[in-house]
């Protein structure tokens, strides 16, 4: 084997007298020998010199298109508090005296001057600041002022809104409205929540710190900007450790209502309270000292303290039995429901339009406004609930249920209720908003 090695290696081995020296020399030299041998015997090695020659070619360049003489731009500004049409146009870089004069003075542009903070205005202008088009969305309508060569023309059309489904969750720390504000929910959504759960939760006395709600609702956008909230599609309210769930279901005839995920109606025949938000100033009792009459007498109703003008709602579908003035009750409305039930609403400051004897009234419909007429020391609503003309405590009486989902609608209902219940379960584990 050593005969095949290079002469240098053989000479070095002959110089080594011991086996140890010989092994050391082999270990040090063999790697290099192997490399040399490998390069020395590699087949098809190219040894010719590579010739490099420069090549020059003429390339025809495409001429760059020149910019047009006049560029146009779209600019966008959000309306701020204290803005005037002049300050807004200045931020939009509109330098067009005719446009400014038209927008500030023309009766046709009156809607464009009703600036609501938070809304967005878009302007299409020339490079020199001349106005081509101004677009202002009110959330429902889109107002457009467009140049027609001789002046400006204002048009109005329904806003092409994009519908999205939004989810929010929050804890109750002080009140429902404070929690909905923390969750960035509109008052419209907060009011819907109160209505949905009003037959199970008395928001005047049942709320506790640490209660929690989750809600799935519609939100409508214009050009990526939220403009208004829509209907609550599903909600859960955790009140004193008990979970109440509701899902919106629309029937084939267009009517809709809220049901539990298993198809039971959320709405009972009667609401617990005729006011959305208030506090009880005097409860149902057989003996109460009357502050005006200066004597003890039964108080067979509930007094709700609220500001003058607060909406008063009918607690159930019914017919107006009477609407007028009574010395003790002041302005008072009495509704009859399902023959044996009647409700009374007293001390009103006024009646809602159409509330006259014999008129049909729907549950939740506004029938009047809180006041202090009659024997009242301050603005409040006196509410009575009677069965067969016998007074009952509205906060304790058992209220009848509305009809549940019928078997023929069960399949359609389950197709909506199940995915909504899954969303609520997801939100239950997620703290999307919290009021500390």
* CB of 208 closer than 8 Å to CB of 239: yes
203 and 176, same structural domain?
A: yes
264 and 168, same structural domain?
A: yes
For the packed helices 7-15 and 19-41, what is the interaxial angle rounded to 10 degrees? 180
169 and 139, same structural domain?
A: no
CA distance 286 to 108: 63
CA distance 380 to 312: 10
Total structural domains within the chain: 3
Final residue in a domain of this structure, among 102, 133, 158: 158
Q: For residue 333, tell me if it sits in a domain.
A: yes
Q: For residue 58, tell me if it sits in a domain.
A: no
Q: How far is CA 325 from CA 126, 198, 216, 357, 367, in A?
A: 65, 29, 44, 13, 15
Instruction: Give CA angle at 196 (240, 167), nearest 5°.
Output: 85
Final residue in a domain of this structure, among 158, 184, 214: 158
Q: For residue 15, tell me if it sits in a domain.
A: no
CA distance 300 to 283: 8
Tens place of pLDDT for every residue, the chain, 436 residues? 445 555 444 554 454 454 554 555 445 544 444 444 444 445 555 556 777 788 888 777 776 555 555 688 898 888 888 888 888 888 898 888 888 888 888 888 888 888 888 888 889 998 888 889 998 887 778 889 888 877 888 888 887 888 999 998 888 888 888 888 888 888 889 889 988 887 788 777 788 888 889 999 999 887 777 888 899 999 999 898 899 999 999 988 888 889 999 999 888 778 878 887 544 444 434 444 445 544 444 557 888 888 899 999 999 899 999 999 998 899 999 999 988 899 999 999 999 999 999 999 988 899 999 999 988 888 999 999 999 988 888 777 777 777 788 898 999 999 999 999 888 888 776 654 443 3
pTM, two decimal places: 0.55
329 and 365, same structural domain?
A: yes
Q: For residue 263, tell me if it sits in a domain.
A: yes
411 and 264, same structural domain?
A: yes
Task: Give buried/exposed letters for 375-411 (b at 16+ CB in 10 A, else e).
Answer: bbeebbbbbbbbeeeebbebeeeebeebeebeeeeee
Residues 6+ apart with CB under 8 A from 243: 236, 237
Q: Tokens at residue 175, please?
A: 């009140």
407 DSSP 8-state letter: G
Complete DSSP assignment for 352-376: -TT--TT-EE-TT-EEEEEB--SS-
Q: For residue 57, tell me if it sits in a domain.
A: no
CATH no. for residue 124?
A: 3.10.450.350
Helices (H), 377-434: 410-428
CA distance 227 to 137: 9
77 and 142, same structural domain?
A: yes
Q: Tokens at residue 11, please?
A: 């000479």
* CB of 399 closer than 8 Å to CB of 392: no
217 and 141, same structural domain?
A: no
Domain holding 350, by residue range, is 279-392
254 and 232, same structural domain?
A: yes
Instruction: Name residue 313's beta-bridge partners.
Output: 366
Q: For residue 59, tell me if it sits in a domain.
A: no
CATH no. for residue 327?
A: 2.70.70.10
Q: Tokens at residue 185, please?
A: 């929910």
* CB of 131 closer than 8 Å to CB of 94: yes
378 and 320, same structural domain?
A: yes
Residues 6+ apart with CB under 8 A from 414: none
179 and 84, same structural domain?
A: no
CA distance 281 to 191: 22
127 and 89, same structural domain?
A: yes
190 and 245, same structural domain?
A: yes
Final residue in a domain of this structure, among 105, 124, 158: 158
SS3 323: strand
């Amino acid at each position: 084997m050593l005969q095949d090695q290079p002469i240098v290696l053989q000479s070095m081995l002959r110089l080594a007298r011991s086996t140890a020296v010989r092994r050391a020399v082999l270990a040090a030299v063999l790697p290099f020998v192997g490399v040399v041998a490998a390069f020395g015997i590699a087949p098809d090695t190219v040894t010719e010199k590579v010739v490099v020659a420069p090549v020059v070619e003429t390339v025809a360049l495409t001429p760059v298109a020149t910019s047009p003489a006049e560029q146009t731009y779209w600019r966008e500004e959000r309306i701020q508090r204290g803005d005037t049409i002049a300050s807004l146009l200045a931020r939009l870089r509109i330098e067009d005296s005719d446009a400014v004069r038209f927008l500030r003075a023309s009766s046709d542009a009156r809607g464009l001057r009703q600036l609501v903070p938070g809304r967005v205005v878009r302007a299409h202008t020339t490079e020199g600041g001349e106005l081509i088009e101004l677009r202002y969305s009110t959330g429902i309508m889109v107002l457009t002022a467009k140049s027609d060569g001789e002046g400006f023309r204002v048009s109005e059309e329904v806003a092409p809104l994009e519908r999205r489904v939004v989810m929010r969750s929050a804890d109750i720390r002080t009140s429902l409205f404070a929690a909905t504000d923390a969750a960035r929910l509109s008052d419209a959504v907060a009011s819907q929540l109160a209505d949905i759960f009003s037959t199970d939760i008395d928001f005047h006395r049942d709320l506790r710190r640490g209660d929690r709600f989750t809600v799935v609702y519609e939100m409508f956008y214009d050009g990526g900007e939220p403009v208004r909230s829509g209907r609550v599609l599903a909600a859960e309210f955790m009140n004193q450790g008990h979970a109440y769930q509701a899902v919106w279901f629309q029937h084939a005839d267009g009517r809709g209502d809220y049901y539990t995920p298993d198809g039971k109606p959320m709405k009972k025949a009667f609401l617990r309270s005729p006011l959305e938000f208030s506090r009880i100033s005097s409860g149902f009792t057989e003996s109460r000292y009357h502050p005006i009459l200066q004597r003890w007498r039964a108080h067979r109703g509930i007094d709700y303290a609220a500001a003058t003008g607060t909406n008063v709602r009918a607690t159930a579908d019914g017919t107006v039995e009477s609407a007028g003035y009574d010395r003790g009750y002041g302005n008072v409305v009495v509704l009859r429901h399902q023959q044996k039930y009647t409700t009374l609403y007293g001390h009103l400051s006024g009646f809602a339009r159409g509330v006259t004897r014999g008129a049909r009234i729907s549950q939740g419909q506004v029938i009047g406004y809180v006041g202090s007429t009659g024997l009242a020391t301050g603005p409040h609503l006196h509410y009575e609930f009677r069965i067969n003309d016998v007074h009952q405590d509205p906060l304790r009486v058992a209220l009848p249920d509305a009809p549940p989902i019928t078997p023929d609608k069960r399949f359609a209902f389950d197709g909506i209720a199940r995915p909504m219940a899954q969303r609520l379960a997801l939100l239950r584990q997620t703290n999307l908003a919290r009021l500390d």
